[in-house]
Chain A
């Protein structure tokens, strides 16, 4: 059974039209991440939550926002999508803290901007 679930798998949105991607987890992990991955590139961290503490990457555009209403759910809001925001968006979770705690990924949402 999938432990990190992203919806939708594929999203088409219009240029400038706000869009929300969702992620849920059944692992009860403290940490949730949002990554953006473009073709042939590494996943790029946008932000992550440690419990309710939000950690934004310095180079994440203001156009990207996130919400984590509870442990299980996390949302990525793109306020005004541009053509350059077309990418695969990956949600991941991990347990807090030290040690070799791996991250578990959802299947991703592939965003197309038209």
Chain B
């Protein structure tokens, strides 16, 4: 089983739609969680960290479910500029506490 799993997509949605991505992780000792955004042929950039209580940043909402070992990202009112690959990233507390593990990414295409 992969350490971090995501549906690769692509998710093709119309502008203005709400879209959600899930990510599951296998290491129950995982401590830190992030969503990164990666545009084609560019480096990943932090979109948002994911906190235990869930957190929101404008149109983006992240949730963490430790019991089921998954995190989610909700994008409301999708914009064309949201088209990108969204990478789920997990850091364990023990056994490599500084190691960041990436999911394969979920591709989002927002269309007119």
A residues in contact (CB < 8 Å) with B: 31, 33, 35, 41-45, 48, 50, 55, 88, 90, 92, 94, 96-108, 110
Contacts and interface: CB of A to CB of B under 8 A. Distances in A.
Given A98-B93, A108-B42, 6 more contacts: A42-B105, A90-B43, A100-B32, A100-B33, A105-B45, A107-B43
A16 B100 CA distance: 30
Interface in B1-54: 4, 31-34, 41-46, 49-51
A80 B32 CA distance: 36
Contacts of B102: 35, 42-44
B53 to A, nearest CB: 12
B43 A50 contact: no
A102 B49 contact: yes
A48 B43 contact: no
A104 B99 CA distance: 13
A102 B34 contact: yes
A48 B51 contact: no
Contact of A98 (B31, B34, B100, B105): B31
A101 B32 contact: yes
Interface residues of B, number: 27
B72 interface: no
Contact of B49 (A55, A100, A107, A110): A100
B98 A31 contact: yes
A43 B44 contact: yes
A40 to B, nearest CB: 8
21 contacts: A31-B98, A33-B100, A42-B104, A42-B105, A44-B102, A45-B99, A45-B101, A48-B98, A55-B98, A94-B98, A94-B100, A98-B32, A99-B32, A100-B32, A100-B33, A100-B49, A100-B51, A102-B49, A103-B89, A105-B44, A106-B43
Contacts of B42: 107-108
Q: Which 7 A-B pairs have the closest CB atoms?
A: A105-B43, A100-B49, A42-B102, A42-B104, A102-B46, A31-B98, A100-B32
Interface string B96-112: 11111111110000000
Nearest to A99: B32
